[in-house]
Structure 1
């Protein structure tokens, strides 16, 4: 195993702002350092500014803590960078609204590094019903376990910027946050994925839930999952798609007709005027929510806005809800496993898109009360602060 190298230029024990007046606060100076190699023993990174070098891996049985207010900066010029929590490793990165933990990249160019990758020990179900698969992040590590309540740690008020490194399409791809079979004991709260080159958040199976998530300006899907992910306590998801983007939410289950589904409440999906799809040909990728491969879910209090037809560079029809294939339509829509209730839609002329052309998706396709439009839905409820501000821009201004 590689050793972890810490080049600490300023001791964490140095303080500034001291005064003879005991009532004045003592301000702790940030340390300066480097994070690299495999981390094989427990480590706390004090509040500071760190350089991330390489695919840093937190080993099984090891707990790494990053103190609030810290900034970790990758540099694409030194090769592939990322922060990886291996199965049974633990990452504790708890910032605050005013002192978030920020992981960014020096050039501020989308797709410059691998983001945060976390492996857990919760179940997944892949193609053909397999309960284990190899990751698509280039590490090709097996994921999938049996512990639904497994914990990989806690991420609170963490922002990942300019990630989504894609080295070989469909062979080695990264997102802002990648969660492989992560369990429900893991805490994911107040997270931002900002201007990445792939998905903002992707769940590969598992049972973990995310609260107060912002996907802003990511060029593929804002939220994406597969491998029969079934998080049950998700709330306050906000996607703002601008520049180049595909789906607000891409929902699929690798063809498995599961008896369970994830649940998400309070969702806002917005697409800025002039935003174009990443893939203008082939599969249409311009919808607020797309279901395929038996993807399903229970979604409520949803605001959808701005999913208009695209005219340039290629003509593409956009809509609120797309179902791509007949199996998903039959098993999940007609079968009652897709619920979309209290949905407020504006700036989106087409409500339904039938991807396969062998069925017609409509409000009547949903049994009982599984589809319901509203004029009073409020969507995500999030509070502004430094955690949701980048270069002086309030990411919630369009919420």
Structure 2
């Protein structure tokens, strides 16, 4: 179920319910983004880039670039992309950017002017897999023999002996609508890091709407912070072929009706495709990740596990929160299970919530006690039965918000405490150890400003205008529906920190507006209660409130 919150009543405004308007169209548009334009200008003539980049090249934020086909940055060359630059991928030619071994990509945006890689399709017509993605190939160790070729049909090789290899830097970068299946088991992901070394810097990178995985690591030692995976098709964080890097602070928000037939996970990890004992062993360390999935619909059968750890992986995950998958943790195969027993695979101070089928699963060797491993006192892991127990804002579970939600845990959330950094795997100075919070957020909403949770509607025809949706306001708090489920009579409850205007509507599971309850109502600061329609048929609905500063939604059930 979705988060809902109790609150202390202070003042109460009762707003009478207008007559139910079945199938009504909402009269209020979503809150506009900070950089939204009244009219999207005509697309400028793009600077088309194709073939090979063989010498040091610097692009300009005054241009819009179009990747035509596979564009390779060749060994010895550095491609520098300044803050605020827009790069589009051509759909017909599967435009992609491949940084080969010995080349570098310096793509450093800022919080106010991120670099955006996005679809070349017009606003409203964009889709997963509109273009390829970004592939970086380095010379760091992998556990494959010979000279491996990266997935996706691009023909580039990766791997080597230089753990500190430097392929450049990505900072404040968005990658929107990428991900194509070149052939089965050979896809281009949002961001592919193949044999990338620890000399490379990855920080503040968002992948939105990938047609395959958001992030996939094939071996290598690169570290990363502040990764955001939104509305992917397949996996969010996929680690293989001897990846041994470290990642801290990650946000995963899934779209409830989009999943891959292969089984979509937040974490998928293999040593290699055959589960061999090849070295270096896949042994990344993740800390402080929040992974959220609303109750799946439509493609629900293709959502499988929050964590699918298999094929002799020794991944370790700490201080992480996962909510909403059918299964929480699957330890798959004798080798991965043995790694959990002997301390190679470590899961500590983590939280599972609202796993709809089971919390734990043993696969391959089905007698392994996964619950016993998770619940061992030394591991300090937690299980909650509902997402409500997490104390998060309801809008955090919605991946297509026009306004970036406040992802900070509420004042009563159990996630504000419970983290620990005492395990030896977290001793490295890479990990920030000042917070006690579990999940990706403590006191800083670090996604604010540079990310975009609804790029489908963004105008990218004006060079340099890439500022993301405005940060969430704290005006709207404690959004709930009660009772929930209801027999037909329920109210939408919330608190306004500041007075303002508000519109309220009810949507069905397809996103269709079935009732407009309030239009531009003027509300004073304080606790509010809005009566919801009593004539709704049995089913699942979303109540959406849009104020002059922000918007949020909450799910509710009518059971008659």
User: Under a length normalisation based on structure 1, what TM-score does the superposition of the two structures give?
Assistant: 0.81
* Structure 2 residue 378 is matched with structure 1 residue 369: yes
Which residue in 2 is equivalent to 1:270?
Answer: 292
* Structure 2 residue 307 is matched with structure 1 residue 294: no
* Structure 2 residue 241 is matched with structure 1 residue 231: no
Q: 1:58 aligns with which of 73, 91, 109?
A: 73
**Distance (whole Å) between structure 2 residues aligned to residue 152 and residue 191 of structure 1:** 16
After superposing the two structures, state which structure 1 stretch, 117-126 or 333-342, moved more: 333-342
* Structure 2 residue 266 is matched with structure 1 residue 248: yes
Deviations 1:74-130 (A, max 9, x none): 2212x121001010100000001110100111231111211000000000003xxx2
Which residue in 2 is equivalent to 1:312?
Answer: none
> Which structure 2 residue ranges, 5 or more long, are not aligned?
1-43, 384-413, 416-436, 459-467, 473-551, 553-560
Structure holding more strand per residue: 1
**Distance (whole Å) between structure 1 residues aligned to residue 370 and residue 296 of structure 2:** 27
Counterpart of 1:238 in 2: which secondary structure? strand
* Structure 2 residue 190 is matched with structure 1 residue 176: yes
Which residue in 2 is equivalent to 1:322?
Answer: 330
Which residue in 2 is equivalent to 1:337?
Answer: 344
**Distance (whole Å) between structure 2 residues aligned to residue 360 and residue 277 of structure 1:** 29
Higher Cα Rg, which structure: 2
Q: CA deviation at 1:395?
A: 10
**Distance (whole Å) between structure 2 residues aligned to residue 212 and residue 73 of structure 1:** 23
Q: CA deviation at 1:286?
A: 1.1
Summarize the Cα distance change of 1:187–1:347 in structure 2 as closer, same or farther, 3 Å threshold: same
Q: What's the Cα RMSD here?
A: 2.4
**Distance (whole Å) between structure 2 residues aligned to residue 198 and residue 123 of structure 1:** 25
Summarize the Cα distance change of 1:151–1:275 in structure 2 as closer, same or farther, 3 Å threshold: farther
Q: CA deviation at 1:167?
A: 2.7
Q: CA deviation at 1:263?
A: 1.1
**Distance (whole Å) between structure 1 residues aligned to residue 156 and residue 47 of structure 2:** 29
Q: CA deviation at 1:344?
A: 2.0
Q: CA deviation at 1:131?
A: 5.9
Q: CA deviation at 1:327?
A: 2.0
Which residue in 2 is equivalent to 1:358?
Answer: 366
**Distance (whole Å) between structure 2 residues aligned to residue 276 and residue 118 of structure 1:** 34
Which residue in 1 is equivalent to 2:163?
Answer: 148
**Distance (whole Å) between structure 1 residues aligned to residue 271 and residue 297 of structure 2:** 27
| 2:243 and 2:282 in contact (8 A); partners too | no
* Structure 2 residue 392 is matched with structure 1 residue 384: no
Q: 1:197 aligns with which of 189, 200, 211?
A: 211
| 1:52 and 1:74 in contact (8 A); partners too | yes
> Which structure 1 residue ranges, 5 or more long, are not aligned?
1-29, 308-317
**Distance (whole Å) between structure 2 residues aligned to residue 271 and residue 394 of structure 1:** 21
**Distance (whole Å) between structure 2 residues aligned to residue 288 and residue 358 of structure 1:** 18
> What is the 5 A alignment of 1:201-212?
201-212=215-226
Summarize the Cα distance change of 1:395–1:206 in structure 2 as closer, same or farther, 3 Å threshold: farther
Q: CA deviation at 1:346?
A: 1.7
**Distance (whole Å) between structure 2 residues aligned to residue 228 and residue 218 of structure 1:** 24
* Structure 2 residue 158 is matched with structure 1 residue 123: no
Counterpart of 2:372 in 1: which secondary structure? helix
* Structure 2 residue 220 is matched with structure 1 residue 213: no
**Distance (whole Å) between structure 2 residues aligned to residue 260 and residue 114 of structure 1:** 26
**Distance (whole Å) between structure 2 residues aligned to residue 269 and residue 396 of structure 1:** 20
Q: CA deviation at 1:368?
A: 7.1
Q: CA deviation at 1:268?
A: 0.6
**Distance (whole Å) between structure 2 residues aligned to residue 260 and residue 219 of structure 1:** 23
Q: CA deviation at 1:276?
A: 5.6
**Distance (whole Å) between structure 1 residues aligned to residue 372 and residue 470 of structure 2:** 37
**Distance (whole Å) between structure 2 residues aligned to residue 68 and residue 296 of structure 1:** 37
**Distance (whole Å) between structure 1 residues aligned to residue 171 and residue 54 of structure 2:** 23
Counterpart of 2:320 in 1: which secondary structure? strand
Ranked by relative contact order (alpha carbons within 8 Å, sequence separation 6 or more), the top structure is 2
Residue-pair matches, total: 348
**Distance (whole Å) between structure 1 residues aligned to residue 158 and residue 51 of structure 2:** 22
